[in-house]
Amino acid sequence: MKNLYKTKILLPAIALSATLFSACNNANPPAGDKAAVVIQKDSLTEYVAQRLPIYERVKLTTNINQLSVNDRKVLPLLIQAAEIMDELYWKQAYPQRDSLLATIKDEKTRDFVNINYGPWDRLNNDKPFVAGVGVKPEGASFYPYGITKEEIEKSTLSDKFGAYSVIKKDSTGKLSTVPYHVLFAAELQKASSLLKQAALIAEDAGLKKYLNLRADALVSDNFTASDYAWLDMKTNGLDIIIGPIENYEDKLFNARTSYESYVLIKDAAWSKRLAKYVKMLPELQKNLPVAAKYKAETPGTDSELNAYDVVYYAGDCNAGSKTIAVNLPNDEKIQQEKGTRRSQLKNAMQAKFEKILMPISKELIDAEQQK
């Protein structure tokens, strides 16, 4: 019997036809106007009740028989480190989580807050769905509330567009930057320690090296060495993508990165089948139907295309919709020198196929053609 590892995720389903309730204006009603408060809350509750079913709860499974005894000991340590990334992402996206949830009695609304990592509907242009909540700040918690782009652009801060810091404003209005590894020192030290513990147990030399370097990177914000080590891994059965990686949450400048993590188990058989396509990439680039000037760059030749089962999503990659493939590192210098790894998340793809594409096909394709 197969030894299966199970975890649950929420996938956004696609409704072919749906009429959404428009939430009332989130401006505060006049004092004493109880009717306005009731209408606003009720309409938002109805909105959530209609939006929540677009997500489908699915159970992701993987066969861990391929993992060694030591790798099975490493796996929970990686998940614990990923859980810390989830907490850090909450602090970046919506630091008032606990106080917000304490005020919400409707269970569906609480669920929707957790799915969206805040009171804004990520798959509907960040529409607020909690009474009294205004427009989502473009800078999340990376910048002082209410600060303008012009104010930051005119500042003399050396790290004003940094990927691994936040901007703070003191009582006098003076701006300063605080590195992530300082701001989140306690949490990052704990995550780093977990990766170090995992490295002590790991048998694969490449994974061991990567875990140690990534542990150091989390507490220094210097990720280059660990990115190279991650690309150098070839024979590992386990993998973890962890740290501040994507800049989607920073809609003010698309500069600052958010914490996230994927815990992955490689499907060796499928990865081997995909490997042949990587060799075709240089030729495919040569034959792109664009002017030669757009094909002048020569990407790194050490790129990989692998298949994995994802067993844990945390932080940015878990907010709203779920990623089914990852292409990293984002560092363009590393991409040119070495390449990237394209990680196809096989079990998540399968879940989306079954829960999204199949229902769509049944609506759009004639029954006679579905055989």
Got the DSSP string for 200-265? HH---HHHHHHHHHHHHHHTTS--HHHHHHHHH--S-SEEEEEEEEE-TT-TTTS-S-EEEEEEEE
The domain ranges of the chain are: 4-366
Predicted local confidence at residue 60, as pLDDT: 87
Q: How far apart are CA 56 and CA 208, in angstroms?
A: 36
Residue 346's CB is within 10 A of a number of other CB atoms, namely 23
pLDDT over threshold 50, residue 18 = no
pLDDT confidence of 78, banded at 50, 70, 90? Answer: very high
DSSP class of residue 356 equals I
- The answer to whether 198 touches 261, Cβ cutoff 8 Å, is no
DSSP-assigned beta bridge partners for residue 66: none
Cα–Cα nearest to 265, from 312, 227, 305:
312
| Confidence at residue 145, expressed as pLDDT on a 0 to 100 scale | 93
Q: Report pLDDT for 20.
A: 28
Per-residue confidence (pLDDT) for residue 1, from 0 to 100: 38
Residue 30 has pLDDT above 60, yes or no: no
CB of 117 closer than 8 Å to CB of 93: yes
How far apart (Å, rounded) are the C-alpha atoms in residues 156 and 154? Answer: 7
What would the mean pLDDT of 71-95 be, rounded to a whole number? 98
pTM of the predicted protein model: 0.88
Confidence class for position 32, pLDDT limits 50, 70, 90:
very low
Mean predicted confidence (pLDDT) in 140-156: 96
83 has pLDDT over 80? yes
126: left (phi over 0), alpha (psi -120 to 50) or beta: left
What per-residue confidence (pLDDT) applies to 275? 85
Share of the chain above pLDDT 90, in %: 77
- The better pLDDT of the pair 345, 22 is held by 345
Beta partners for residue 7, in sequence order: 60
| pLDDT per residue as tens digits for the range 93-144 | 999 999 999 999 999 999 999 999 999 999 999 999 999 999 999 999 999 9
User: Are residues 256 and 247 in contact, defined by beta-carbon separation less than 8 angstroms?
Assistant: yes
pLDDT in tens, 258-289: 999 999 999 999 998 988 887 787 788 889 99
Q: Report the percentage of the chain scoring pLDDT > 70.
A: 88
Tell me the CA distances in angstroms from 330 to 244, 277, 297, 310, 333, one per residue in order: 11, 21, 16, 20, 9
Q: CA angle, corner 268, sides to 266 and 270, nearest 5?
A: 100
C-alpha distances in Å from residue 254, one per residue of 124, 143, 245, 310: 20, 12, 12, 27
Mean pLDDT, residues 343-365: 94
Q: Judge whether residue 311 has pLDDT over 50.
A: yes
What's the pLDDT score for residue 356? 92
Q: Which CATH architecture has domain 4-366?
A: 2-Layer Sandwich (3.30)
pLDDT digits (tens, 9 = 90+) for 188-238: 999 999 999 999 999 999 999 999 999 999 999 999 999 999 999 999 999
Return d(Cα 103, Cα 209) in angstroms, integer.
Answer: 45
Choose the weakest-confidence range: 26-30, 38-42, 115-119: 26-30
pLDDT above 80: residue 302: no
Residues in CB range of 285: below 8 A, 6 or more apart: 295, 299
Query: Residue 146's pLDDT is what?
Result: 92
Type of residue at 324: I
pLDDT reading at 36 higher than 50 = no
Distance CA 364, CA 371 (A): 14
Q: Which residue has the higher pLDDT, 136 or 23?
A: 136
Residue holding tokens 């790129």?
303
List the one residue out of 316, 239, 265 whose CA is nearest residue 85: 316
What average pLDDT is seen over the chain?
Answer: 89
* Residue recorded with tokens 């990115």: 227
Q: Which of 124, 114, 121 is nearest to 89 (CA)?
A: 114
Asked if 21 contacts 365 with a C-beta cutoff of 8 angstroms, the reply is: no
